Amino acid sequence: MTTLNDLTLAQARDGLKAKDFSAVELAQAHIGAIAAARSLNAYLLETPERALEMAAVADTKIAAGEARPLEGLPLGIKDLFCTHGVTTTAGSKILETFQPHYESAVSHNLWRDGAVMLGKLNLDEFAMGSSNETSAYGSVISPWRRTGSDAPLVPGGSSGGSAAAVAARLCLGATATDTGGSIRQPAAFTGTVGIKPTYGRCSRWGTVAFASSLDQAGPIARTVRDCAILLASMAGPDARDTTCADLAVPDFEAAVSRGVKGLTIGIPKEYRVEGMPAEIQALWDQGADWLRAAGATIREISLPHTKLALPAYYIVAPAEASSNLARYDGVRYGLRVPGRDIAEMYEKTRAAGFGREVKRRIMIGTYVLSAGYYDAYYVRAQKIRTLIKRDFEEAYAAGVDAILTPATPSAAFGIGEKASADPVEMYLNDVFTVTVNMAGLPGIAVPAGLDAQGLPLGLQLIGRPFDEETLFATAQVIEEAAGRTVLPPAWWA
Amino acid sequence: MSVDANTVRRIAHLARIAVSEEEVAPLQDELNAILAFVEQLGAVDVSGIEPMTSVTPMAMKKREDVVTEGGRARDVVFNAPETEDHYFLVPKVVE
pLDDT tens, residue by residue, A81-104: 999 999 999 999 999 999 999 999
- Answer whether A421 sits within 8 Å of B26, measured CB to CB: yes
Nearest C-alpha of chain A: how many angstroms from B61? 6
pLDDT at B23: 95
Pair A71, A61: CB distance under 8 Å: yes
Q: Give span(s): CATH 3.90.1300.10, chain A.
A: 4-263+400-482
Percent of chain B at pLDDT exceeding 90: 75
CA distances to A184, B18, B21, B87, B91 from A339, rounded to whole Å, are 42, 11, 18, 20, 8
pLDDT at B68: 86
Pair A97, A4: CB distance under 8 Å: no
Closest chain B residue by Cα to residue A328:
B16
Contacts of B13 (CB under 8 A, 6+ apart): A347
**Interchain contact B17–A (C-beta under 8 A):** yes
Residue type, A282: A
> Within 10 A of B82 (CB to CB), how many other CB atoms are there?
14
DSSP code of residue A134: T
Nearest to A56 by CA among A11, A16, A22: A22
Nearest C-alpha of chain B: how many angstroms from A99? 7
**Which CATH superfamily is A4-263+400-482 part of?**
Amidase signature (AS) domain (3.90.1300.10)
Closest chain A residue by Cα to residue B31:
A364
Pick the CATH number of B5-42 from 1.10.287, 3.30.110, 1.10.1740, 1.10.20: 1.10.20
**Interchain contact B47–A (C-beta under 8 A):** no
Nearest C-alpha of chain A: how many angstroms from B34? 6
Strand locations in chain B (E) = 83-84, 87-88
Residue type, A250: P
- The DSSP element (H or E) to which A232 belongs, if any, is helix A224-234
- Max CA separation in chain B (angstroms): 57
pLDDT band at B95 (very low <50, low <70, confident <90, very high): low
Closest chain A residue by Cα to residue B74:
A101
Interface probe, candidates A332, A357, A385, chain B, greatest B C-beta count within 10 A: A332
- Answer whether B30 sits within 8 Å of A423, measured CB to CB: yes
- Helix extents (H) in A77-180: 105-112, 160-167
HEC string for A276-319: CCHHHHHHHHHHHHHHHHCCCEEEEECCCCHHHHHHHHHHHHHH
CB-side neighbour CA atoms (13 Å) of A166: 33
B residues 53-82 near A, CB within 8 Å? Answer: 53-56, 58, 60-61, 63, 72, 75, 77-82
What is the three-class DSSP state of A417?
A: coil
pLDDT at A273: 86
User: Tens-digit pLDDT profile for chain A (493 aa)?
Assistant: 469 999 999 999 999 999 999 999 999 999 999 999 999 999 999 999 999 999 999 999 999 999 999 999 999 999 999 999 999 999 999 999 999 999 999 999 999 999 999 999 999 999 999 999 999 999 999 999 999 999 999 999 999 999 999 999 999 999 999 999 999 999 999 999 999 999 999 999 999 999 999 999 999 999 999 999 999 999 999 999 999 999 999 999 999 999 999 999 999 999 998 888 899 999 999 999 999 999 999 999 999 999 999 999 999 999 999 999 999 999 998 899 999 999 999 999 999 999 999 999 999 999 999 989 999 999 999 999 999 999 999 999 999 999 999 999 999 999 999 987 688 888 888 999 999 999 999 999 999 999 999 999 999 999 999 999 999 999 999 999 999 899 999 999 9
Contact residues, chain A, for B72 at CB < 8 Å = 101
pLDDT at B93: 84
Pair A157, A178: CB distance under 8 Å: no
Please, what is the average pLDDT of chain A?
Answer: 96
pLDDT for residue B24 is more than 90: yes
ipTM confidence score = 0.95
Query: Nearest by CB to A382, which of B12, B51, B77?
Result: B51
pLDDT band at B90 (very low <50, low <70, confident <90, very high): very high
User: Based on C-alpha coordinates, what's the Rg of chain B?
Assistant: 22
Nearest C-alpha of chain B: how many angstroms from A201? 11
CA A249 – CA A201 distance, rounded (Å): 8
CA A348 – CA A335 distance, rounded (Å): 10
pLDDT at A275: 83
